[in-house]
Amino acid sequence: MQWDDLRVFLAIAQAGSLRRAARVLGFGQPTVIRHLRQLEQSLGTRLFERTPDGHRLTKGGQHLMPMAQSMADAATAIDRRRMAFGDDGGGVVRVSAGEWPARFLAPRLASLSTTHRDLTVELVETHSEPDLDRREADLLIQHGLAARGHLVRVSLGTIAAAIYGAAGLVESQPTTRTEARWRSCAWVAYDAPHEYFGSMAFLMGHLGDRRPRVRANRFSLQLEAIRAGAGLGILPCFVGDPDPTLVRLTAPLPELTDSYWLLVHPDLKTVPRVRLLIDWIRTAFKEGKSMLQGSRREASR
């Protein structure tokens, strides 16, 4: 019995179909089928039934599932601890972060690559939360913080946000500078699938039955629309304040000032290259504190 066969079995069980499992694994579908057939032949039983909705575990598959998952968990634990063997500060560290902290860190990575040439940083911008136990990421930057059990957490400070508009729009529409902005101005915001974000709940609470004129699934797209004068929008102060094309129209909004945390699995916290990156991220947030908190300039009057 080969571990690769079991890995494919788990992927099919979790994804619910050969096609989705192949996409998750990065394999071609014929490769997935070959591994599944090898495993079924070695066990002498069928592991899945094909249904209109995909693939469903047979009784044999249900019996195999917890044992295969235990093997996967053990393999992941070995992989985490392998990082510490002979680690000299080089190698790859994968950092997962939301759009705001990822944008803050990205332009600062140049200094890190200059001083640590053997270190490769994979910065992944995502709205979802990776599983650190399964090493979907080595480090996670997250705001707010629910209970995370065994994960080690490091405080990074806060990121403030305010309302901004393009200089031309603000000049042509005086109401952008007043509370009348909620009733009279166009707005740029996230699309419907992201209305669960705190910034969206805040904005929709102020707009009432009005809706943003421009909606986008990514912050970077909203920023370009705001810069172009499509409407007002909520931006982190570290993005809006240095931009000469934008005007800040409010003080930092207390309702949208979030605390950010760096999470790491206990097995990885002492790995030299991971430790190096943890320290670098903490320093970057510390040095950028006034910019992140929006205290470098007062709101425009």
Domains, in order of start, for the chain: 3-82 (1.10.10.10), 91-159+257-292 (3.40.190.10), 161-256 (3.40.190.290)
Strands 119-125 and 91-97, how do they pair? Answer: parallel
CA distance 129 to 136: 9
> Above 50 in pLDDT, residue 96?
yes
User: What are 113's two structure tokens?
Assistant: 């690559």
DSSP letters for 206-244: HHTT---SEEESSHHHHHHHHHTTS-BEEEEHHHHTT-T
Helix 18-25 and helix 3-15, axial crossing angle in degrees, nearest 10: 120
CA distance 162 to 202: 12
Q: What is the pLDDT of residue 65?
A: 92
Report pLDDT digits (tens) over 33-79. Answer: 999 999 999 999 999 998 888 899 999 999 999 998 888 877 777 66
> Above 90 in pLDDT, residue 127?
no
User: What are 149's two structure tokens?
Assistant: 């059990």
CA distance 157 to 164: 23
CA distance 45 to 255: 57
Rounded to two decimals, what is the model's pTM?
0.72
Query: Could you count the other beta carbons within 10 Å of the beta carbon of residue 235?
Result: 25
User: What are 49's two structure tokens?
Assistant: 């039934």
